Amino acid sequence: MRRLTKLSLFVVLLLGGNSAFCQEKAVMDTANTRMNLLSQLMQSGNYEQAQVEAEGFREFLKHHKTPVSPKALVLISGIYKVNSDDRSATRFLADAEMDARKDPNPVTKAALLNVLVQECRKWDLPDQALTCQQLLAIAQDSITVRKRRAETLEMQQKLDSLTALRKTEMEEQANYLHLERDKAMVFGGVVFLIFLALLFAHYRNTERWRKLLEKKEMEWDMLRTNLRDEVEENTLHALQAAQSQVTAAPSPPDPYTVYHGPKPEQIALLIEPNRQVVLYLKSLLSDRFQVETASTPAEGLQMANDLLPDLVVCDAILNGKTGIEIARQIKLSQRTNHIPVVLLTDKFGNEGKLDALRAGAEAWFTRPVIDDEFDASVQRLLDARKTKHEQFNRFLQLYFSESRLILDDPFLARSVQMIEQNLADPDYMADDIARKMQMTKTHYVKKLKALTGKETVQLIREMRLEKAKVLLEKRAGTPQAIAELVGFSSPGSFSLAFKEYFGENTSLLYTHPTNRLT
């Protein structure tokens, strides 16, 4: 009888627990359904009905003694905010605070208090917000203490586990065989000798197989070479037969096809947003320039500074910025002011010429561009550059004489001056000049070559030789002393360079004083 009573009591408790769980699940499902309804009413703009449903939702929570969730708190507070119901909002926030105080779980309590603090600040309730903030701090401290306890318990469990493993390991080691030190060393030496013997045997075996493999590879190479020669010979005969059968005349070249000859050394930059105009200008420039394109002002200026092209063709009208301003910036920059600029404009006559003068451009064209006139103008710019190179050569030849010319270009004048001041330094190179010019070596060398047609090393060498010639003609010292004075490391290299540059020996310009007396 007693056993039946206990069994019936267990069944009653089990059924009661299941019914309580099902009831709690039903309450949560109903609460979620009502929250979805409130969200839909808020989204549709039916704020009055939303407030009615919110009051019903609150009564439902009170009836089932269920605390409000953070999501529901934000949603209902938003409904009251839209309807400007301060009184209901104050009561609702106070009820939410009581729910938070009654919640024994610090995690859910902290989540609700965190949202409650924010909502109290929105409704301008500083006292209640401060109270909730204090409760939140207490809940967070409880969470921290709980985490520390869990971590401490976990560390203690790990420590106990390690202790047990250590104890087991010590028990297992007690069963192992322990060798004395001398015996262990002898045993290790024997094992090492066996290992060396095996390694040597492996090496001998590998070497034998390697030689066999090399022999086979040589045989295969000979076979492949013979086969390749036969294939090439057959292919050559087939190509010759095919070429002898081709009798069709070559088609005339397309004027809009980009040039496919050897790659030019000079670079032309097109700053033009119109794709058709770019293709047309490429067909006119590709036989003399490597053509790079830019469609925006910022991209054009960046490419002009990075590439230092030999020619810039710029449209007078660009997106958001005029091409005249782009050309002006190119001409005002010390890095790019040597680059010739061609301006494309929609204006005719003096107006177009005025645009070019304001931009500092060397040439201007009214669109549509005529290919013959454009080619002629570009060729004139290239010829003008060659003329400047010849003028600089003339300047260099007279630089150390009394008939010295004056350079108008500050960049060249400063470069020549720095080279002259360091002629005696054999290690003086382009890096030193570029550093003082506040330029990179690449940009400095490229600009110098565009203005003079010479590399930096070539310019330094020619200035040294021109200076040496003047000193030899004045008999300012022996050729050996003059070679050292102008920065040559040895008299032999100086004589060879002098002979190559001037076509005569240094001894013809210098006669030793004793020879002159005789």
pLDDT for res 191 = 92
Instruction: Confirm if 265 and 355 have CB atoms less than 8 A apart.
Output: no
Listing DSSP states for 119-159 in one string gives HHHHTT-HHHHHHHHHHHHHHHHHHHHHHHHHHHHHHHHHH
Cis (ω within 30 of 0) for the bond into 368? Answer: yes
pLDDT for res 194 = 94
Query: What pLDDT digit, counting tens, does each position of 199-256 carry?
Result: 999 988 888 888 777 666 655 655 565 566 566 666 656 666 665 554 444 444 444 4
pLDDT for res 195 = 92
Burial 339-352 (b: 16+ CB within 10 A, else e): bbbbbbbeeeeeeb
What's the chain's Rg over C-alpha atoms? 47
Query: What pLDDT digit, counting tens, does each position of 145-192 carry?
Result: 888 988 999 999 999 989 998 888 888 877 766 567 787 888 888 999
pLDDT for res 47 = 83
Where do runs of H (alpha helix) occur along 84-125?
86-102, 106-122
Distances (CA, A) of 82 to 56, 156, 183, 359, 461: 18, 54, 91, 61, 85
Alpha-carbon dihedral sign for residues 400, 402, 405, 407: positive
- Residue 271 forms beta bridges with which residues? 294, 314
pLDDT for res 513 = 46
Burial 486-510 (b: 16+ CB within 10 A, else e): bbbeebeebbebbeeebeeebeebb
In SS3 terms, 247-301 reads as CCCCCCCCCCCCCCCCCCCCEEEEECCCHHHHHHHHHHHCCCCEEEEECCHHHHH
**Sole residue written with tokens 């065989």:** 177
Low-confidence spans in the chain with pLDDT less than 50: 1, 4, 11-12, 14, 246-259, 512-518
| C-beta atoms surrounding 121 within 10 Å | 14
